[in-house]
Amino acid sequence: MTSFFRGKISFAFKLVALLLIASVLITLTQSAVAQGEYFIAAFLGITVFLLALTYLTKVSIPLKFFLPGILLLVAFVLSPIIFTVTMSGYNYKTGNIISKDEAILQIQNRAFEPDANGTSFDIKIGRYQAQEALLVSDSVNNAFFISTVRDRIPLNPADLTINEYGVAESAPDFAVLSDSEMANADKLYSGKRFTYQDEYFIALEGFEVGIVSRQVLSFDAEKDQFNNIITGEVYTDNGKGNYAIADNPDQYLEPGWRAPVWFENYTKLFTEERLRGPLISVFIWTVTFASLSVLTTFALGLLLALALNKPIRGRRVYRSILILPYAMPSIMSILIWGGMFNTEFGAINNLLGTDIAWFQNALFAKFAIILVNLWLGFPYFYLVSSGALQAIPSELLEAAAIDGANPRQIFRRITLPLLLQILSPLLIASFAFNFNNFNLIYLLTGGGPRAELDGELAGATDILISFTYKIAFGSSVQDLGLASAISLVIFLLVAGISLYGLRKSKVLESFQ
Amino acid sequence: MITWLRTNAWRHALVISVCLFSLFPLYLVVISSFNSTGSLRLDSFIPREISFANYKMLFNDPAIPYLTWMKNSLVVAGATAILSVTIGSASAFAFSRLAFKGRKTGIQMLLLVQMFPAILAISAVYVIMERVYTFAPSIGLGTQAGLLLIYLGGAMGVNIWLLKGFVDSIPKELDEAAKIDGASAVQTYWLIFMPLAAPVLAVVSLLSFIGTFNEFILARLFLVDMESRTVAVGLQQFIGGQYSENWGPFAAGSIIASVPIVIIFLSLQKYIVNGLTAGSVKG
């Protein structure tokens, strides 16, 4: 067995496995390069290099153990964090997703208007000399021509097949698209400008009508601005990812691009009234929710631990029942509680004989959340408190009893302070966990109730993390830049709390 | 008898009422799963009918690929559990036993990175996987393989941290003896450490399995196809959206999905509780 790890066979095995992995990764790298994903390609390339270096040489023995874990962490934890940090410095939201070059291209392509008469033609789409082409029927002038991106070729009506509506169906050298080609035609034809005359061109409106149009905006690359050819308006780069009229900033061109705005997403949190108000109330509720959750779960858990800290009859059965809520997959439990709080069909109203709309009223919704979290969380504190109670030396309690302390005094002066000392890191960890307890809020109330029509951004039970999720993935505007900025603030808060807790638990000292 | 009442009655009273509190939702789900009306109403504490319609629906309705969802959950959670513990234990071993530069910085970095709320990095993960999809559709957005990779990355921090705690508790003398006998670090890992740590690895895999099984948001965002969904995401649509508040099949489905986990949890509670106390809160 020992020789297996030293011998030639093992080396051969290792080599084959490495080669297999490397070949897969190299293939992926190549396709990534082909798609222009250079960051990912570079990561994959470096991965192959590091794998070979680590497992074929003896550069570093610890790295042999670390490498797979590090690679996964970098790819799916560290790089998303760096991406988030970077995005928080950008104006990155719906309408400002693409790069500047792409935005300029799209603005140019979209900025055309029909001619003064609104001239339109019946058309057939197809190919002429292997190029995308239109067979155009100008029924007003009874003229027919083929139009490609480069040329316009006049046709003689005598050569054409013309249907009863005066529309040309086919022409010599013009290949009408087959049905299967039609399926992909949108990508090839729409957005193209087919030649008409002077500055006018034909743009497609569906696959059967062409509209005579002309360009409205022209891009001046030297001055980095768009000029409206017709009205003479000038759109300049407003520094926030849009071309806008200098005197009238609300009038800007779509789409914009993701532009660096540095700390604007952060300053916005404090300066923009529309954002600051909800943020403050959400923050207060987040802290309240997390504190109340810790307090209630710990209190009930401790009470149970005290009650069962004596070998009473049925203790094992009690224990198994009490930890059931903890053993259930929490997703299922939260959804079930959500159903129980349903106004019409839920068991809670049914049991109480009421018809409270639990999730429509802020106070009731908050109460429901705390209650559900109590159900989910008390078994954990029951378990850890039981353990901690047994860890308190019995001599201490006996000594106090001999000195004449009554049970209540013993609990308040000795047991509780000791327990708190033992459990404080877990209490802090629980606070940090609840601070970001996204699943509970999202699945139970969805952050509601929220007066959406009044333009409220946050619901009454939204905590910071669910509010951020709404900003990033909400239905109307998705503002990833702003969400990233809030994410970072939350990270700092939670890291602060947790580091404080860890210092208390002295975990870090073991590395001194 | 009187003293018994004074000393123990309050204990029983308190514990029994909390037991009722903890059992109530579970009891409700069980009777709802046998009730064909599809609501979570409590009409009477004793079920009036016992119907298997909800269970039959899960297994027979072609529009509800319940078995596929179950299989997806088991495959994704199982693969995450096994792979993340295999990869994580190697790192934990190195952190615990090998001396190297930057060991302290490394473990502190690991802690710090772990504190970044995963949900908030979702948008970045989404963009990355969207890009991966453009050149490797089999591991990009919408695939279980892609989701597995993300879970693995996310599980690394917690698992290394948890496992390191366990590795620290294995007596150092054992691998020092192996070292004196001329074993390399890699040999010590495979021949000494792995057999000793096997039960611990099993528990951490189990925790990892339960954690992944419980994951909802990423799975919901990534797995768009009906056929590729996990059981939590699949069942959730019964009560939100197109099936609108159809609790019967949801109750039946979540019972089938939960029972194995609850049984495993209860039978291994001693070990799991130790692991949880050493790490942090259930996530």
Which of B160, B184, B266 is the closest to A320 by Cβ?
A: B266
* Nearest by CB: B124 against A28, A80, A312: A80
Alpha-carbon distances, residue A249 vs A95, A253, A478, B120 (angstroms): 16, 10, 21, 32
Give B28-58 pLDDT, tens digit per residue: 999 888 887 777 777 667 777 788 888 988 8
CA nearest to A263, candidates A240, A242, A281, A284: A240
Is residue A362 within 8 A of residue A461, CB to CB? The reply is yes
Structure tokens at B53: 């319609």
Which domain CATH number covers B93? 1.10.3720.10
Nearest residue of A to residue B221, measured between CA atoms: A473
Please write down the HEC assignment for all residues of A309-370: CCCCCCHHHHHHHHCHHHHCCHHHHHHHHHHHCCCCCCHHHHHHCCCCCHHHCHHHHHHHHH
| pLDDT tier at A510, thresholds 50, 70, 90 | very low
Separation of first and last alpha carbons in chain B: 45
Lowest-pLDDT range, A466-475, B44-53, B135-144?
B44-53
Q: Is residue A285 part of a domain?
A: yes
| Domain annotation covers residue B64 | no
Q: Is residue A232 part of a domain?
A: no
Rounded Cα distance, A426 and A383, in Å: 12
Q: Give the model's pLDDT for residue B2.
A: 61
Q: Please check whether residue A297 lies inside any domain of the structure.
A: yes
Contact with chain B for residue A458, Cβ under 8 A: no
CB contact under 8 A, B39 and A442: no
In chain A, which residues have their Cβ closer than 8 Å to the Cβ of B100? 60, 62
Nearest Cα residue to A331 out of B232, B161, B172: B232
| Number of independent structural domains in chain B | 1
| Residues of chain A with C-beta less than 8 angstroms from the C-beta of B98 | 61-62, 65
Q: What is the pLDDT of residues A244-274, one digit of tens each?
A: 988 888 888 888 898 989 899 999 998 988 8
B66 has a pLDDT exceeding 60: yes
Q: Are residues A211 and A312 in the same domain?
A: no
Asked if A140 and A179 sit in the same domain, the reply is yes
Q: Quote the crossing angle between the two packed helices A273-307 and A362-391, to the nearest 10°.
A: 40
Q: Is residue A96 assigned to a domain?
A: no
Place of tokens 């990175």: B113
Which B residues 57-86 touch A at CB under 8 Å? none
Residue A97: its pLDDT value, please?
85
Q: How far apart are CA A17 and CA B154, in angstroms?
A: 25
- Domain assignment present for B253: no
Tokens encoding B272: 């799991």
Residue A476, SS3 per DSSP: coil
Two tokens, residue A463: 């905590």
Q: Are residues A186 and A297 in the same domain?
A: no
For B151, name the nearest residue in chain A, comparing CA atoms only. A76
Q: Which domain holds residue A407?
A: 269-511
Q: A57, A332, A436: best mutation site toward chain B, by most B Cβ within 10 Å?
A: A332
Q: Which domain holds residue B141?
A: 75-242+268-278
CA distance A452 to A458: 9
Instruction: Give pLDDT tens digits for B163-178.
Output: 887 777 778 888 788 8
Q: Which residue has the higher pLDDT, A299 or B138?
A: A299
Q: For A114, phi and psi rounded to 5 degrees?
A: -65, 155
Q: What are phi and psi of A511, to 5 degrees?
A: -105, 5
Shortest Cα distance from B51 to chain A (angstroms)? Answer: 19
How many structural domains does chain A have? 3
Q: Is residue B83 part of a domain?
A: yes
The last residue of a domain, from among A191, A215, A239: A215
For chain A, the distance separating the N- and C-terminal CA atoms, rounded to the nearest angstrom, is: 38
- The span from the CA of A152 to the CA of A143, in Å, is 12
As a whole number of angstroms, the distance between CA B249 and CA B35 comes to 10
Residues A205 and A321 in one domain: no
Q: Do B277 and A81 make contact, defined as CB atoms within 8 angstroms?
A: no
Given a contact cutoff of 8 angstroms between Cβ atoms, the answer to whether B200 and B163 are in contact is yes
Same domain, A308 and A443: yes
Do A189 and A46 belong to one domain?
no
Q: Pick the last residue of a domain from A195, A215, A235.
A: A215
The answer to the question of residue B113 being in a domain is yes
- Claim to verify: residue A375 and residue A432 sit in the same structural domain: yes
Are A132 and A66 within one domain? no
Say if residue B245's pLDDT is above 80: no
Q: Please give, rounded to a whole number of angstroms, the shortest distance from the CA of A437 to a CA of chain B.
A: 9
Question: E strand or H helix at A169, and its extent?
Answer: strand A168-170
Partner residue facing B217 (CB), from A5, A323, A438? A438
pLDDT in tens, A42-85: 999 999 999 999 988 888 888 888 899 999 999 988 998 998 89
- Cα angle at B23 between B19 and B28, to 5 degrees? 155
* Residue A244, in any domain of the structure: no
DSSP state letters, B36-58:
TT-----S-SS-S----HHHHHH
The answer to whether residue A227 is domain-embedded is no
Q: Find the helix or strand (DSSP H, E) in which A403 lies.
A: none
Residue A261: inside a domain, yes or no? no
Question: Touching check for B113 and chain A: CB below 8 Å?
Answer: yes
Same domain, yes or no, for A482 and A438? yes
How many degrees, rounded to 5, is the angle at CA A387 between CA A298 and CA B168? 115
**pLDDT for res A41:** 92
Evaluate whether residue B19 is within a structural domain.
no
Question: What's the complex ipTM?
Answer: 0.85
What pLDDT is recorded for position A302?
95
Q: Which of B83, B120, B126 to mutate to test the interface with A (most CBs of A within 10 A)?
A: B120
pLDDT of residue A49: 94
Taking CB atoms and an 8 Å cutoff, what residues of chain B touch A323?
265-266, 269
A376 shares a domain with A494: yes
Task: Tell me if B73 sits within 8 A of B66, measured CB to CB.
Answer: no
For the segment B256-268, what is each residue's pLDDT rounded down to a tens digit? 989 888 888 888 7
Domain CATH code at residue A477 = 1.10.3720.10
> Is residue B8, in this structure, part of any structural domain at all?
no
H and E: helices and strands count for chain B = 14, 0
Instruction: Report cis status (omega within 30 of 0) of the bond before A449.
Output: yes
- Residue linked to tokens 């209490």: A427
Q: Rounded to the nearest 5°, which phi and psi values hold at A121? A: -125, 150
Position A512 scores a pLDDT of 36
Number of Cβ within 10 Å of residue A336's Cβ equals: 24
* Residue A80 sits in the same domain as residue A198: no
| Own/partner long-range contacts of B276-280 (Cβ < 8 Å, ≥24 apart) | B276/A380, B276/A383, B276/A384, B276/B207, B277/A383, B277/A384, B277/A387, B277/A426, B278/B162, B278/B165, B278/B166, B279/B158, B279/B161, B279/B162, B279/B165, B280/A426, B280/A429, B280/A433
Task: Tell whether B117 is covered by a domain.
Answer: yes
Among A residues 246-305, those touching chain B with beta carbons less than 8 Å apart: 300, 303-304
Which residue type does A214 have? R
Give the residue from chain A lying closest to B252, CA to CA: A332
Is residue A97 included in any domain, yes or no? no
Residue indicated by tokens 């590090």: A70
A28: nearest CA in chain B?
B136
Structure tokens at A353: 């004989």
Asked if the structure places residue B178 within a domain, the reply is yes
Residues A149 and A273 in one domain: no
